[in-house]
Amino acid sequence: MKKNDPMPKQQNKKETKRVHNLIIVDESGSMYVIRKQAFVGMNETLQTVRQMQKKYPDQEQRVTLLTFDSSHTTWHYDNTPASRTKNLDWKAYNPGGGTPLYDAIGKGIAKVNAQVEDGDHVLVTIITDGEENSSEEWTLKMVRTMIEKLKKQNWTFTLIGTDNLDVETMAQSFAIEEHMEFQQDEEGTKAMFARERRSRERYNCCLAEAAPIPKGKFFDED
């Protein structure tokens, strides 16, 4: 080594884990009865992701948030660093229309799948109060095939549905083990989002400690 050559830098930096938070929220007409609670809940979820970024600086939290009905898919955030997210404006969520659930899930996971790199982790949260009734591009078989493939690649899928649905059977049709049912009223929706946030915090804690949550136990609070 020549006298003027700089000394090689020591590589002692902790490796950063990138965590993609894909949040898919039904904006169909029947969600209007819990519009306020869904709106508040989404903002509290964004706040939780930002808190996770601060709590675990070795994790890089990214957010993709979409809401959907039969007339539109709105990408409120697209692979956005958590620190650059802000709470949604009230007008950003205004339920109306049908439920193209397969299209919303398909579009969401396809978009994030194109952005992930080896070693990344993805947490997918799907919230709906209705079954599929108006998709045009994706079928159940297409969505299920994609989910089954991605579950083998550090992806965790959760399905949250209202008590008028058979959420367990619905989740099984998508090959999703992690599911939760909630009562579609103010109290029930608040409780659901609070439980989801606690589960999200536990998920990030487990990632930090390299201790994965056992399959089917994502929402367990024992």
| Residue 10 pLDDT grade (very low, low, confident, very high; cuts 50, 70, 90) | very low
pTM value?
Answer: 0.93
Q: Enumerate domains of the chain plus CATH numbers.
A: 17-116+127-142+181-208 (3.40.50)
Which string of DSSP letters, residue by residue, matches the chain? --TTSPPPPP--PPPPEEEEEEEEEE-SGGGGGGHHHHHHHHHHHHHHHHHHHHH-TTEEEEEEEEEEETTEEEEEEEEEEGGG--PPPGGG----S---HHHHHHHHHHHHHTT--TT-EEEEEEEESS-----SS--HHHHHHHHHHHTTTTEEEEEEEETTS-HHHHHHHTT--EEEEE-SSHHHHHHHHHHHHHHHHHHHHHHHTT-PPPTT-TT---
The amino acid present at 11, given as its one-letter code, is Q
User: Do 167 and 14 meet the contact criterion of CB atoms below 8 Å apart?
Assistant: no
Tens digit of each residue's pLDDT (9 = 90 or more) over 70-120: 999 999 999 999 999 999 999 999 999 999 999 999 999 999 999 999 999
Distance CA 46, CA 49 (A): 5
Residue 11: pLDDT band with limits 50, 70, 90:
very low
**Tens digit of each residue's pLDDT (9 = 90 or more) over 117-144:** 999 999 999 999 999 999 999 999 999 9
